[in-house]
Amino acid sequence: MNRVATAPGRRMTRQKPSAGNRILGVLGEILITLGILLMLYVAWELWWTNIDSANAQKQVTQNLVQNIGDVKIGDDTEEDIDYGPAPVAEVNPGETFGIMYFPRFGSNGSHHPVTYGVGRDVIDNLGIGYYPSTQLPGEKGNFAVAAHRQTHGQVFWDIDKLQKGDKIYLQTKEGYYTYTWYETEIVQPSNGDVLLPVPHEPDAEPKRSILTMTSCHPPFTTRLRIIAYSELTDWRPLEAGPPKEIREMVKDATS
Amino acid sequence: MYAWIFRNLPGPIWLRIIEALILIAAIVLLLMVYVFPWLSQFSPFTESTIGLNTP
């Protein structure tokens, strides 16, 4: 057996390539480059956007906390006082007006700022966006918000994990609005009547205040929308301190 | 293309490797910070809002 003949490449590496080979070589490099660019874009979308979003959310949360002033944390003594009906929150275009707390989300709960508007400028970086066409927190009707399910902070990643009795808290400069989850549904992306004062009932007069959270479904697609409904069940003024379930989270978010 | 760039970087081989790595890092950073955020406005994959009344 002639071993040299079985490895012919070794002796020919320094030969000048023909024009056709060079064109093929460049074409190959361009294709490899495109492949790498696509992978980088996916990495950006799935990973980098979360970091960008976390930084931006931290920033607006800090600004909001500064505007609210000192947040009293309180203790158990003021737990069972009834503070009456919730006032309507004051919300101005463009501003970040609240922080939402989700004890169910993540391993230890999560919190995100809420900002007026659902454009890309808001939900791509600032966490939760408020649909300006819907009602305000404390108002009769539908307080509707949107956030990304995955990427850009994956704020509502665990939206499908909400169960009976789960609470969602909104802190504004007025106080703490407590919402209790009662229903989740999956709808088509065009199904805007989930944002009506009474979802799916165009002519109905709203009798209660609800919170509607919208996000993508299934995760990593935009095929459908997942809609989670909660009802306003309690309210406390800011001075009374946060409900005890989120005391640690509020301390963490506002320090 | 890449071989040509590598051959034309100045310095000895170890320096050229470092230069190449810096170049790659700079390009990736440029893509992540400026190009991809701009590109994503044309991407249909990140919509999470609903209905017609969204800007």
CB atoms within 10 A of CB A23: 11
Is residue A123, in this structure, part of any structural domain at all?
yes
Checking if the pLDDT of A1 tops 50, the result is no
Q: Which residues of B touch A (CB under 8 A)?
A: 1-2, 28, 31-32, 36, 39-41, 43-55
For A118, which of B40, B45, B54 is closest by C-beta distance?
A: B54
Cβ separation B52–A151 shorter than 8 A: no
pLDDT score for B2: 87
Split at pLDDT 50, 70, 90, the class of A8 is low
β-bridge partners, B17: none
A215 touches B: beta carbon within 8 Å: yes
Split at pLDDT 50, 70, 90, the class of B44 is low
**Residue of higher predicted confidence among A72 and A186:** A186
* Number of structural domains found in chain A: 1
What is the rounded radius of gyration, in angstroms, for the C-alpha atoms of chain A?
26
- d(CA A175, nearest CA chain B) in Å: 27
Is residue A2, in this structure, part of any structural domain at all?
no
* Mean pLDDT within A189-195: 89
pLDDT score for B52: 41
Over residues A70-102, the pLDDT tens digits come to 788 877 666 677 888 899 999 999 999 999 999
For A222, which of B2, B47, B53 is closest by C-beta distance?
A: B47
**Cβ-contact A124, B48 below 8 angstroms:** no
A48 touches B: beta carbon within 8 Å: yes
For A26, which of B1, B49, B53 is closest by C-beta distance?
A: B1
A131 touches B: beta carbon within 8 Å: yes
Is residue A10, in this structure, part of any structural domain at all?
no
**Cβ-contact B47, A190 below 8 angstroms:** no
Over residues A141-176, the pLDDT tens digits come to 999 999 998 888 999 999 999 999 999 999 999 999
* Segment of A7-11, A23-27, A72-76, A220-224 carrying the highest mean pLDDT: A23-27
Between strands A209-217 and A167-171, the pairing is unpaired
The residue type found at A91 is: V
Is residue A74, in this structure, part of any structural domain at all?
yes
Q: Which ipTM was obtained for this model?
A: 0.83
Full domain range(s) for residue A214: 50-254
Q: Is the link from the previous residue into A93 a cis peptide, with omega within 30 of 0?
A: no
Q: Which residue has the tokens 């700079």?
A: B26
pLDDT score for B46: 60
Q: Among candidates A119, A228, A102, A105, which has minimal Cα distance to A170?
A: A102
Helices A247-254 and A49-68 pack at an angle, to 10 degrees, of: 90
Cβ separation B52–A192 shorter than 8 A: yes
Checking if the pLDDT of A36 tops 90, the result is yes
CATH of the domain at A113: 2.40.260.10
Is residue A106, in this structure, part of any structural domain at all?
yes
* Mean pLDDT within B31-45: 84
State the Cα–Cα distance between residues A132 and A130, nearest whole angstrom.
6
Is residue A11, in this structure, part of any structural domain at all?
no
pLDDT score for B55: 29
Is residue A35, in this structure, part of any structural domain at all?
no
For A48, which of B32, B46, B52 is closest by C-beta distance?
A: B32
Q: Which residue of A has its CA nearest to B32?
A: A44
* Mean pLDDT within A117-125: 89
Q: Which residue of A has its CA nearest to B41?
A: A120
State the Cα–Cα distance between residues A233 and A101, nearest whole angstrom.
15
Cβ separation A151–B32 shorter than 8 A: no
CB atoms within 10 A of CB A44: 21
Is residue A23, in this structure, part of any structural domain at all?
no
